[in-house]
Amino acid sequence: MATITEAKVIITSPGRNFVTLKITTSDGVTGLGDATLNGRELAVASYLQDHLVPLLIGRDADRIEDMWQYLYKGAYWRRGPVTMTAIAAVDIALWDIKGKVAGMPVYDLLGGRARDGAMVYGHASGGSVAELLDDVARFRDRGYQAIRAQAAVPGSPGSYGVRHGAIYEPAATSLPEEQLWSTEAYLDFAPGYLTEVREKFGFDFHLLHDVHHRLTPTEAGRLGRRLEDLRMFWMEDPTPAELQESFRQIRQATTTPIAVGEVFNSIWDCQQLITERLIDYVRASVSHAGGITHLRRIFNLAELYQVRTGSHGATDLSPVSLSAAVHLDVTVPNFGIQEYMEHSPLTHEVFHTSYEFHEGALHPSSAPGLGVELDEEAAVRFPYNPKYLPVGRRTDGSVHDW
């Protein structure tokens, strides 16, 4: 039996902040888990450092399921993004270790590949419609089979999902930036540019759009109906999902497929959405929804109801998360798509990856474990740099969902 001898929390900011858990066993094997929670990084770091690391030392590294149950049920206080991200980091690191010990990639531990690679979608965006169309062309030239399209809403500088400079990083300021939001302006604008994308580039690729929790169910139904002829792959996060039953209303209004889940942290957040088939894609992430062990349960439940997967893969999830997601993606029968925002070259100075992008898909490497290494010497060159996500305000000054 190999026991855990060390668990180290590594905080680094190569281009943006990442929290990583590195577990070492008595056999000298190491594994990495992503513990990054954008804008609340130190809460998870403390949860790990102060409350979980003391529990890990001396424990059997082979018993992944038991560890998950021990940390989840043992805390008494269940669920929540901080707890579930911390548990995820331990879980992902233990899968990495198990793969290395077995000499197998994690996808083989999970039953082997059901497909060669995981189709990904890239983020095309623009400060104007013309810029967006150029960006869509760029993604098509690079072989993307699926593209998410976002343009800045006129009169709403700093609109979500739009790149300013080389990279889209929503948590960009040392205190939350306040951004203006007008639902009316957005609803008047978005269907027009999505139509232009189809008119210019046709239908031989998948088109996606993120609503970022901005609409009421009534507004979302109206938007979905207007997008029906565009044969969208999905309309993402049309409304906040705390009220799962509200998706029934969107469903009844439109046949545009619905995706939701990047803020979910447990199967309970999507139980009704899945079992009543109120969504088409569940987008929970491996690092925020309890790791491979728990996300696999969500995906397996979804399979029973013909709900497909669409894992969150923004750049605020580290390359460790992305690799873990791709290993899981290639094994599940109900895989849909994987988000791929591409980490910056700076991030790759710290995280060395082995997954590969070609023909619009990410392919996990056959290296044992997850195939990601963290350069600790490089990591110290990038100290933590506190950043917040923006806050949205309506034109009357009241706070809106960002």
Does 212 bind ligand GCO (CB under 6 A)? Our answer is: yes
Min dist CB 129 to ligand GCO, Å, is 20
SS3 state of residue 269: helix
The continuous run of DSSP H or E covering 325 comes out as helix 319-329
Enumerate residues 238-267 that contact Mg ion by CB under 5 A: none
Q: Minimum CB separation from Mg ion for residue 160, in Å? A: 8
Q: Closest separation between CB of residue 134 and ligand GCO, Å? A: 21
The binder of 38, among Mg ion, ligand GCO, none, by C-beta within 5 to 8 A per type, is ligand GCO
User: Residues 22, 79, 316, 334: what is their CA dihedral angle, to the nearest 10 degrees?
Assistant: 100
The rounded radius of gyration (Å) of the Cα atoms in the chain is 20
Binding at 314: pick from Mg ion, ligand GCO, none (beta carbon under 5-8 Å per type): ligand GCO
Residue with tokens 């060390």: 6
CB nearer to ligand GCO: pick between 206 and 212: 212
Binding-site size for ligand GCO (CB under 6 A) equals: 10
Query: What whole-number distance in Å separates Cα of residue 368 and Cα of residue 321?
Result: 16
Distance CA 112, CA 104 (A): 10
206 has which bridge partners?
A: 146
Residue from 12, 38, 321, 365 binding ligand GCO (CB under 6 A): 38
* CB nearer ligand GCO, residue 168 or residue 335: 168
What x-and-dash track marks residues 162-181 binding ligand GCO by CB under 6 A?
A: --------x-----------
Q: CB count, 10 Å around CB of 398?
A: 8
**142, 120 in Cβ contact below 8 A?**
no
Residue 90 or 284: the one with the smaller Cβ distance to Mg ion is 284
- Tell me how far apart the alpha carbons of residues 320 and 291 are, in angstroms, rounded to a whole number: 11
- Smallest distance, Å, CB 212 to ligand GCO? 6
Angle CA 13–107–205, to nearest 5: 75
User: Could you tell me where the beta strands, DSSP code E, fall in 87-171?
Assistant: 118-126, 146-151
**CB–CB of 153/186 below 8 Å?**
yes
Closest CA to 186 of 231, 137, 235, 228: 235
Q: x/- string (CB under 5 A) for Mg ion, residues 193-232?
A: -----------------x----------------------
Find the shortest distance in angstroms from Cβ 69 to Mg ion: 30
Active-site amino acid positions: 160, 212
| Interface with ligand GCO, residue 41, by CB under 6 A | no
Q: Which does 135 bind (CB under 5 to 8 A by kind): Mg ion, ligand GCO, none?
A: none
Q: Candidates 92-100, 220-228, 241-249, 312-320: pick the segment binding ligand GCO (CB under 6 A).
A: 312-320
Rounded to an integer, what distance in angstroms lies between the CA atom of residue 39 and that of residue 174?
Answer: 10
Q: Indicate the SS3 state at residue 16.
A: coil
For the bound state, the minimum distance from the C-beta of residue 96 to ligand GCO, rounded and expressed in Å, comes to 23
Cβ proximity to ligand GCO, 91 vs 262, nearer residue: 262
CA distance 28 to 274: 41
Report the residue number, 114 or 172, with the smaller CB distance to ligand GCO: 172
The separation between CA 30 and the C-alpha centre of its own chain, rounded to angstroms, equals: 24
Closer by beta carbon to ligand GCO, 72 or else 168: 168
Binding site for Mg ion (CB under 5 A): 210
Binding site for ligand GCO (CB under 6 A): 38, 170, 210, 212, 262, 312, 314, 316, 339, 389
